[in-house]
A and B are shown apart, each in its own frame.
Chain A
Amino acid sequence: MEKGLTDIFRDKIQKEIRIEPKDWMPEKYRQTLIRQISQHAHSEIVGMLPEGNWITRAPTLRRKAILIAKVQDEAGHGLYLYSAAETLGITRDEMYDQLHSGKAKYSSIFNYPTLTWADIGAIGWLVDGAAIMNQVPLCRSSFGPYARAMVRVCKEESFHQRQGFEILLTLGKGSPEQRRMAQDALNRWWWPSIMMFGPKDDESPNTIQSMQWKIKRFTNDELRQKFIDVCAEQVKLLGLVIPDKDLTWNEATGHYDFGPINWDEFWQVIKGNGPCNKERLETRKKAWEEGAWVREAASAYAEKIERKKALLVY
């Protein structure tokens, strides 16, 4: 029986037929997806914080409206992704527990602080840009609900990236103080963004299996290279400099070469030693705990209404 099911599953994967929630799937495939989708959802929710930090200080009404809409989009992405993960048999509350207890991870990039307005531009251009690079292939992920959620997420992310680029472009054309602000933001966000693609392929334990299951379509290093190639060209329009003295075009490979990545920093931030790990998690926990009475009241009221309706039926 199990053998037959495994064959059907493998056959679907090979023929690029989407796996749907009610289909049989290997337990490890299910667990891998729960881990990846919930991590992704948590990243959206925690990711609201560094940018939300500038909503009340956005420099114009137009920028303020755009930033609120953007951060609100991230909440929406979190919502689709939690829902996609729920189809695999885990509840949103369970996923929150995993986030709050530190069991589940979220993208380390959000453990860096937003110091100036230019950081909002840098996050849009680089962080959302890297996210798109990762996520566009996920629109073809073998798991149906994830793939479908990603189609919408990617559309919105590409808008986010353009707004970030446009912020930096405006600053780049602005006063010397604004240009300094923009360059400083690029200096601080560049390397963490490069690290967003995850460890090098030979140190990424989950990649091979995920590629076989067609959850992932490209390796970390492939995506990272693609991202660097794109940014190295785009930065010319901004009039800014990428903080990597080894960044050079390599005619032979058709790609940009780049300098060594500080993997020690990467692992330290994952372990919880980034500049904002504690603050981010505490903020999420606080929102959740302080919202407990609200959620309890809403359920209590909903039950009351249900009871009243039931009485009316009799």
Chain B
Amino acid sequence: MHNKTLIDYTLHLADNALIIGHRNSEWCGHGPVLEQDIAISNIALDLIGQARNFYQYAATVSGNGATEDTLAYLRDAIDFKNILLVELPNGDWAQTILKQFFFSTYQYFLYQQLQNSKDAQLAAIAEKALKEVTYHVRWSSEWVIRLGDGTLESKNRMLRAIDEIWSYTGEMFLAASYELQGIREEYAVDLSEIQKNWVQKITSVCIEATLPLPADTWMQSGGKEGKHTEYLGFILADMQFLQRAYPDADW
């Protein structure tokens, strides 16, 4: 059973990175400024790279012939363990930026701790990814400030984005069963620890951006345990099309 939990935890980390990377890649060719088109595609690449590292490790641990691609392309929505936040539609640039900022800040503190994981491979992946995520946090927080403190329109769009996305942030810190088990076995990150840091960082950036954060509200959850929004099915329909239409083909 040890392996099953470790695999689930690793898949959870992989799915988060893949799905938000996939969403970011939807911007490629459609960004508001050429330089930012490049930036967000680059972030997509980093995240898909992280997902691949985690999937490859999950495949190795499972030892049943799984590969990074069978894990990404041949599981259904109820098997995906990503948080709901990452599967939300991109919306406008404000919503994309805010999602990325919330998520990257979460990943930053998560990977920072994961470097101390008793599982050497997870620790190594986290260490490598942390360099990338440090940049993602910088890039997205600068945009949050720029848009929050830019024009009246950009501020209103950010306020609307907060309204749309805030209730999906709670799930990040709500430990799933495999996380609790992983914490006991000291390879997973204790989320209550990183929540404090996350709140502090989000609050300070939003103050600089002149954006008020909502008081406590109802938080959505379920993604980590396979209960997703309706959006995920469509993401997978796109992503898995070729693998499903032409089973066992090499690409």
B249–A65 CB distance below 8 A:
no
Contact flags (1/0) for B127-149 with A, using CB distance below 8 Å?
Answer: 00000000000000000011101
B146–A65 CB distance below 8 A:
no
Is A69 close to B, CB under 8 A? Answer: yes
Given the interface pairs A56-B22, A293-B157, the reply to whether A78 lies near B69 with Cβ below 8 Å is: no
B150–A300 CB distance below 8 A:
yes
Interface of A is mostly: helix
Task: Apart from A75-B29, A294-B147, A301-B146, list 20 A-B contacts with CB within 8 A.
Answer: A45-B29, A45-B34, A48-B28, A55-B25, A55-B28, A57-B241, A59-B243, A60-B69, A60-B251, A61-B48, A61-B68, A68-B28, A72-B28, A79-B38, A178-B246, A287-B30, A293-B157, A297-B146, A297-B153, A297-B154
User: B18 — nearest CB in chain A belongs to which residue?
Assistant: A61
Q: List chain A residues, Cβ under 8 A from B28.
A: 48, 52, 55, 68, 71-72, 75
With beta carbons under 8 angstroms apart, the residue of B22, B52, B93, B243 that contacts A291 is B93
A291 vs chain B, min Cβ distance (A): 3
Q: List chain A residues, Cβ under 8 A from B149.
A: 301, 304
B150–A75 CB distance below 8 A:
no
Interface residues, chain B, with chain A CB atoms under 8 Å away: 18, 22, 25-26, 28-38, 41-42, 44-45, 48-49, 51-52, 55, 68-69, 72-73, 92-93, 145-147, 149-151, 153-154, 157, 235, 238-239, 241-243, 246, 249-251
In the complex, A57→B41 CA distance in Å?
16
Is A251 close to B, CB under 8 A? Answer: no
B27 vs chain A, min Cβ distance (A): 9
Interface hit among A14-22, A127-135, A169-177, A203-211: A169-177
Is A296 close to B, CB under 8 A? Answer: yes
Is A283 close to B, CB under 8 A? Answer: yes
B32–A61 CB distance below 8 A:
no
A137 vs chain B, min Cβ distance (A): 26
Q: Can you spell out 21 A-B residue pairs with CB atoms less than 8 angstroms apart? A: A45-B29, A48-B29, A55-B25, A56-B26, A61-B51, A61-B72, A62-B52, A64-B25, A65-B45, A65-B52, A75-B34, A174-B250, A177-B249, A178-B249, A287-B31, A290-B32, A296-B154, A297-B151, A298-B146, A301-B145, A304-B149
Q: List chain B residues, Cβ under 8 A from A45.
A: 29, 34
B151–A293 CB distance below 8 A:
yes
User: B149 — nearest CB in chain A belongs to which residue?
Assistant: A301
Q: List chain A residues, Cβ under 8 A from B69.
A: 60-61
